[in-house]
Amino acid sequence: MTAQEKALYHQIHPLKLCTDIGATPFSLILFWQHQLLLALLVSFVPSILVSAALIRWANLEWLKQSALGRYIATFMTGSMQALRLAGFFVMVVGAWLHIWLLIPLGLLVVILAWLRGLLFPQRHASPTSPA
């Protein structure tokens, strides 16, 4: 498995998903309280450590062969990954500015980025077909 494939498939590993999903509420609380350094640490350090460990040591082939693996290979483009990060940023801004409506709005952006292939499958052009 290539480094690029590992970088893609580790995103759907249960440990990575639990780390990211689990850290988000705590980091948003810290952003709400304007504890910037601690919020940034909680937001990114666990995720980076888990990502590094999974990419380095985990066997991700089973994820690549799964239905979810095939889905993200097709639809989890760099743009969708950027959109997920943008959604998180919207949540952070909402927490920092105490605009609570931005938090579910940002979460919706993240969810839509994950579900893009289910919602708009016809917009995908396979690598072998013309756009």
Asked whether residue 129 is domain-assigned, the answer is no
**The token pair that represents 42 in the structure block:** 């909680």
Asked whether residue 22 is domain-assigned, the answer is yes
pLDDT band at residue 40, thresholds of 50, 70 and 90?
very high
Tally the domains of the chain.
1
**The token pair that represents 121 in the structure block:** 């499958």
The pLDDT, as a whole number, for residue 128 is: 45
Asked whether residue 19 is domain-assigned, the answer is yes
Asked whether residue 127 is domain-assigned, the answer is no
**The token pair that represents 65 in the structure block:** 């062969």
pLDDT band at residue 124, thresholds of 50, 70 and 90?
low
Asked whether residue 126 is domain-assigned, the answer is no
The pLDDT, as a whole number, for residue 10 is: 98
* pLDDT at 27 exceeding the cut of 70: yes
Asked whether residue 131 is domain-assigned, the answer is no
- The tens digit of pLDDT for each residue in 46-93 reads 999 999 999 999 999 999 999 999 999 999 999 999 999 999 999 999
Domain that holds residue 46: 3-119
Asked whether residue 76 is domain-assigned, the answer is yes
pLDDT band at residue 131, thresholds of 50, 70 and 90?
very low
Asked whether residue 96 is domain-assigned, the answer is yes
